[in-house]
């Protein structure tokens, strides 16, 4: 048995797939030119949050439970933090089959989470963020990348399980 297989048996959750990518810039209308006008992604919603300093358009690619969000973000105030426009690839979101267990397990093993804890995200799913940098107390971080962990709804868990079953069979 490989190390990865041993760890998979001990890990009480699964990362199912990519839920989203979030791209920031000083003006989201410039991002829309490429992602919506040129690539044809569908604009499916918007989200504004003063506490997160963000004005974002939520776009999607693909269909059904396996669709992926592409969030086009600009800051409400470019002089405040968080600076969603820096870096342009703001964060990657991962579908998680059991977010509470994942947070507990990862935190107990030294993963540093960003402030805010588990909360409702822009798309209505429970989320939390792995901090881009570890600390002395919690040394494991995203090595410069903010990572959003997103609770997968039942239809997403089922769709990924079906794909895994096809791959095995």
Answer yes or no: is 62 within a domain: yes
Answer yes or no: is 7 within a domain: no
Answer yes or no: is 72 within a domain: yes
- Taking the CA atoms of the chain, what radius of gyration do you get in angstroms? 17
How many residues does this entry show for the chain? 169
How far apart are the C-alpha atoms of 108 and 106, rounded to whole Å?
A: 5
Integer angstrom CA distances of residue 74 from 32, 86, 108, 142 = 11, 10, 34, 22
Model confidence at 99: pLDDT above 70: yes
Q: Residue 2 has which token pair?
A: 């490989």
Over residues 104-129, the mean pLDDT reads 95
74-83 long-range contacts (CB < 8 A, ≥24 apart) are: 74/24, 74/25, 74/26, 74/27, 74/28, 74/31, 75/24, 75/26, 76/48, 76/50, 77/53, 78/26, 80/53, 81/53, 82/52, 82/53, 82/54, 83/24, 83/53
What does the pLDDT look like over 2-57, one tens digit per residue?
Answer: 655 566 678 999 999 999 999 999 999 999 998 999 889 999 999 999 999 999 99
Q: What is the pLDDT of residue 165?
A: 78
What is the end-to-end Cα distance of the chain in Å, rounded? 20
* pLDDT interval class at 86 (50, 70, 90): confident
Q: Residue 34 has which token pair?
A: 């490429």
| CATH number of the domain encompassing residue 139 | 3.10.180.10
Count of domains in the chain?
Answer: 1
Model confidence at 133: pLDDT above 90: yes
How far apart are the C-alpha atoms of 18 and 92, rounded to whole Å?
A: 8
Ranges assigned E (strand) in 41-131: 42-49, 54-61, 68-74, 89-96, 119-120, 126-130
Over residues 109-122, the mean pLDDT reads 95
Q: What is the pLDDT of residue 168?
A: 56
pLDDT over 90, % of the chain: 75
Answer yes or no: is 49 within a domain: yes
Over residues 109-123, the mean pLDDT reads 95
Answer yes or no: is 5 within a domain: no
- State the CB neighbour count (10 A cutoff) for residue 15: 15
φ, ψ for residue 39 (rounded to 5)? Answer: -85, -20
Global confidence as pTM: 0.81
Range of the domain at 53: 13-168
């Amino acid at each position: 048995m490989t190390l990865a297989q041993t760890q998979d048996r001990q890990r009480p959750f699964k990362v199912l797939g990519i839920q989203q990518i979030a791209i920031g810039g000083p003006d989201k209308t410039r991002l829309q030119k490429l992602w919506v006008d040129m690539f044809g992604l569908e604009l499916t919603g918007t989200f504004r949050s003063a506490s997160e300093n963000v004005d974002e358009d939520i776009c999607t690619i693909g269909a059904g439970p396996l669709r992926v969000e592409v969030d086009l973000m600009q800051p409400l105030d470019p002089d405040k933090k968080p600076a969603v426009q820096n870096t342009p690839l703001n964060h990657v979101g991962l579908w998680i089959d059991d977010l509470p267990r994942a947070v507990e397990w990862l935190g107990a093993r030294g993963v540093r989470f960003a402030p805010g804890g588990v909360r409702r995200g822009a798309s209505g799913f429970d989320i939390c963020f792995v901090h881009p940098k570890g600390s002395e107390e919690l040394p494991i971080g995203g090595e410069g990348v903010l990572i959003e962990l997103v609770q997968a709804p039942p239809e997403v868990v089922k769709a990924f399980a079906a794909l895994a079953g096809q791959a095995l069979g």
